[in-house]
Structure formats: structure tokens, C-alpha cells
């Protein structure tokens, strides 16, 4: 049994201000001298970046679709206890409180914020946008408080409140609903986080500006919210009957400690902390490479992982780094394992929006007005450095680009009758599908083992 004070920040719908309130709460509690463990329901990569800035430790995702219900509490405890135990954990929800995966294989509400709150036995704080309502707020909150008796609504934070009089009306109405008001945040447009075609701009791309935003959110939330009441609510969560997730228990280390480069920097910000932890547990030495700034891969690189991000925003700078593009192409030509997701696929292609990329795959990619978004239950259609054919995984798509299929490459995954998606060519696996490797740890084990085996073969040949 592990006792970690915790709460979930939810909302009736998207765009109510969950991220601002959750990030501000993490920053305000951290400013008090507390160690805060930040988490995010769902697959989103961007919000955890702001959480990490506020907390000074990685923001971790909790998504039952991607990793399975049984791993939610263990992964939560991994984040809350590593690298040091937290005083309190703040879990930001996704969409509306009861909105979950839209997929025929699961029941309604699966992977919703309410689902994760139940799995964590955590009280919920509902962020309510009060900008366009008055007494009706009581009916709204009453409905959310009673919809699911297994979800405990412990308090409300009113957001975008217009004036003292407006706040008084909202508080008076909510007093009859029996749910405590923990705070009221005024309309502060100057603290809005800028967005673009796939949502908020990642914190890593904003650097000093993002730090200022996080600091400002902490000051606003710290002044507008009763932090003592929030902490008391978090401490009411019961101990969890689970052990922390341990990557070393999921995979066996391969011999030789192969060096694996993982793309990072502003262009490749989409990644889960558990990916690196699993690669290391599987025996790899992980080195981060920034394709915007590093001229070459680290010496002795035996494999490359290129995750998601916004290469389309940085296409000119990525293209201008011709020396690294050539080094990546040479690595793949030598038969070293390369695994790429979404943005990684774009980077490995021949060109992106007409600009030269690595040319590992003979594929042209370009921005598209169509948003492709959703959970996927996929099966591997080709043996690859990630998985043997027939392997079943769960992932998600999130992109506004398209890729023309290259000649000579087999498909990577299939999840519909429309055909295979992604490309497998030699030791290269590239796909639009985002995966959380904690849900399929065998991917890391196979990839590192392939890096070790091929590195040994190269040494033996020499």
C-alpha cells in the first residue's frame, strides 16, 4: 500500500482552462517548497511539457488505452516516487470528465478522466468556465457530481470569472449544490498559451517565454485558489494497493550496451519518459541528439529513435543541417535499426514540403488541411526491428501531413480494411502511429537486441 496525496483536475469540456489551472497549481505548490508529481490523462505530449517546467520533473501520461488499465496505478507511482517521492501529485484530465475513447472495442468512457480517477481512487477538482453563466453553474456541477457515484467530485475552481459580483453569484449558486468552491480565477488573456495547427505550442519551443507563462500561472492560481484546501483534498485519497512500475522488470538487458541516439530538441518534443527508461533497462546507452543543432550522430551510434514533434515548423532548419541528414542516411544504409514515429517519418523521407530531408525513405511528405486524429488498435503486418508480424499494439494518430508510399517498402501496421500504414524497409521502421512503449515493452527489448546484434556483426566483420 502506497500513500501519495493526489487529485485530478477535470472539466465539463475541452477549452475550460484545465491546462492553465493544472499547470498553475503545480507551479504554485512547487513555489511553496513542495515536491509535485505532474501527470496527464490521455496521449497528449504538449501539456506534460508545461507541467515539467512547473514541477522540475517529467510530466507523465496515464492512458488506459495505450498501456492497459492494470498499468495506470503502477505508472502513476513510478512518476510520484521517481526520482524522489513527491509530496503531492496533480493529474490533469483530458476533454470533458466523462469523455473517453471512441472505439468499438471498448465501453463508453474508457480512457476518460473519470476512468483514470477511478483507477487512482483520486478526488476530482472540476474547472468550470464561468464566463457565460450564472446560477446555471449549480445545475451543471450537480450533474457532474452525481453522474457517476464512483467518481468523487471534491471541489470546483471557477475560471474566467468577470468581476467580484459575478464571482459572488457563482459561489452563491454552488453553495446549494454542496460542492466546495476552491477558488475563482479571473479572465487573464495575457497568460493564454499560444496555439497552432495541432494545439498548444510546446514549451520546449518557447523556452524563456514558456517559463514566464508558467511562473505567471503559478502566481495567479496561488492567489486565487485555496491551496490549503486543495492539499487537504489531495490527502484524503486512500493508499494505493499497487507497486511502482519498474522498467527493469519488463525487459531483459541485451549484451554489449549499444549506443542508441534519440532525437530531441525543439523539433522533436513528442515522447514519453518511459521510452528512454525502457531502452536503458533493455541494455542501451541512450544519447539525445538535436537535429536542429548537432552536425553528426554521437560516435558509435548503433541505432536511432526519432519520435514525434513539429518538423514541418522547423523544416528549413532541419533541411539546412545537411551533415546530420547525411549521417542519418549513412546509419540506415549500414543496416543500423531506425524507429520513427510521425515527425520521425517526415524527417526520414526524401522531402518535406519540397525541402530535402534525410532520404532514408523515398517518400515525399507535405502538410495537409485534414487533421488525422484517433486511437488505433493495430497489428504488425511485416517483421521489423520493432516487432514481428502479427504483434498487436494500441496507439494513436495525430497529424496534418500526408506521405506518398515509397517503392520497395512494406507496410508497418494495419488497423482497418483500407490497408497497411507506415513503412518497413530493411532495418527501418517508420509510421504515423504513436506508441507508448510501457504498454508494449517488448518493442524496446527487440529494438535494443537488434542494435546489439547488428553492432556485434559489424565488429566481427571488421
Instruction: Supply the DSSP symbol for 409.
Output: -
> Is residue 203 within a helix (H) or strand (E), and if so which, with residue range?
helix 203-206
Shortest CA distance to 232 belongs to which of 137, 305, 155, 292? 155
Distance CA 35, CA 45 (A): 22
Helix crossing, 208-224 with 18-31: angle to 10°? 80
Q: What is the SS3 assignment for 199? A: strand
Asked if residue 213 lies in contact with residue 190, where contact means CB atoms within 8 angstroms, the answer is no
205-208: long-range pairs with CB below 8 Å, 24+: 205/266, 205/269, 205/310, 205/313
Per the DSSP assignment, residues forming a β-bridge with 351 are: 356, 364
Strands (E), 242-335: 259-263, 285-289, 301-306
> Is residue 38 within a helix (H) or strand (E), and if so which, with residue range?
strand 36-41
Distance CA 301, CA 261 (A): 6
Q: Is 342 considered catalytic here? A: yes
Burial of 362: CB neighbours in 10 Å, binned 0-12, 13-18, 19+? middle
For residue 65 the three cell numbers come to: 488505452
For residue 295 the three cell numbers come to: 552536425
Instruction: Supply the DSSP symbol for 330.
Output: H
What do you get for the CA distance between the two ends of the chain, in Å? 54
> Is residue 175 within a helix (H) or strand (E), and if so which, with residue range?
helix 164-175
User: Which of these is catalytic: 342, 387, 393, 444?
Assistant: 342
Distance CA 222, CA 150 (A): 29
Active centre residues (catalytic) = 342
Amino acid at each position: 500500500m502506497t500513500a501519495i496525496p493526489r487529485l485530478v483536475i477535470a472539466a465539463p469540456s475541452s477549452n475550460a482552462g484545465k491546462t492553465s489551472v493544472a499547470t498553475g497549481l503545480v507551479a504554485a505548490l512547487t513555489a511553496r517548497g513542495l515536491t509535485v508529481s505532474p501527470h496527464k490523462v490521455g496521449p497528449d505530449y504538449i501539456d506534460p511539457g508545461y507541467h515539467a517546467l512547473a514541477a522540475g520533473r517529467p510530466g507523465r501520461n496515464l492512458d488506459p488505452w495505450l498501456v492497459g488499465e492494470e498499468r495506470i496505478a503502477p505508472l502513476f507511482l513510478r512518476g510520484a516516487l521517481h526520482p524522489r517521492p513527491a509530496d503531492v501529485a496533480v493529474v490533469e484530465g483530458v476533454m470533458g470528465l466523462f469523455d473517453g475513447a471512441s472505439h468499438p472495442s471498448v465501453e463508453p468512457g474508457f480512457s476518460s478522466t473519470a476512468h483514470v480517477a477511478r483507477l487512482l481512487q483520486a478526488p476530482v477538482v472540476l474547472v468550470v468556465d464561468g464566463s457565460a453563466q450564472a446560477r446555471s453553474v449549480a445545475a451543471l456541477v450537480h450533474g457532474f457530481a452525481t453522474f457517476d457515484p464512483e467518481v468523487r467530485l471534491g471541489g470546483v475552481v471557477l475560471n474566467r470569472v468577470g468581476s467580484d459580483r459575478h464571482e459572488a453569484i457563482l459561489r452563491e449558486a454552488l453553495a446549494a449544490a454542496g460542492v466546495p468552491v476552491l477558488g475563482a480565477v479571473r479572465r487573464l488573456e495575457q497568460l493564454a498559451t499560444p496555439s497552432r495547427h495541432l494545439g498548444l505550442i510546446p514549451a520546449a519551443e518557447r523556452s524563456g517565454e514558456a517559463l514566464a507563462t508558467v511562473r505567471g500561472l503559478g502566481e495567479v492560481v496561488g492567489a486565487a485558489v485555496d491551496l490549503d484546501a486543495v492539499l487537504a483534498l489531495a490527502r484524503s485519497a486512500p493508499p494505493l494497493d499497487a507497486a511502482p512500475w519498474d522498467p527493469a522488470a519488463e525487459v531483459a538487458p541485451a549484451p554489449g550496451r549499444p549506443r542508441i541516439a534519440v532525437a530531441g530538441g525543439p523539433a522533436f518534443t513528442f515522447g514519453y519518459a518511459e521510452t528512454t527508461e525502457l531502452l536503458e533497462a533493455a541494455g542501451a546507452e541512450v544519447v539525445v541528439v538535436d537535429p536542429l543543432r548537432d552536425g553528426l550522430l554521437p560516435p558509435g551510434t548503433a541505432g536511432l529513435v526519432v519520435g514525434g514533434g513539429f518538423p514541418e515548423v522547423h523544416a528549413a532548419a532541419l533541411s539546412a543541417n545537411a551533415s546530420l541528414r547525411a549521417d542519418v542516411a549513412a546509419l540506415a544504409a549500414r543496416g543500423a535499426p531506425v524507429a520513427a514515429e510521425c515527425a520521425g517519418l517526415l524527417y526520414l523521407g526524401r522531402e518535406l514540403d519540397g525541402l530535402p530531408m534525410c532520404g532514408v525513405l523515398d517518400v515525399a511528405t507535405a502538410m495537409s488541411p485534414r487533421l488525422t486524429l484517433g486511437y488505433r488498435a493495430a497489428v504488425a503486418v511485416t517483421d521489423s526491428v520493432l516487432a514481428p508480424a502479427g504483434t498487436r499494439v494500441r496507439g494513436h494518430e495525430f497529424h496534418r501531413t500526408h506521405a506518398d508510399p515509397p517503392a520497395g517498402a512494406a507496410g508497418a501496421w494495419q488497423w482497418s480494411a483500407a490497408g497497411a500504414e507506415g513503412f518497413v524497409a530493411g532495418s527501418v521502421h517508420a509510421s504515423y502511429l504513436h506508441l507508448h512503449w510501457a504498454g508494449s515493452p517488448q518493442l524496446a527489448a527487440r529494438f535494443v537486441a537488434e542494435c546489439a546484434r547488428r553492432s556485434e556483426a559489424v565488429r566481427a566483420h571488421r
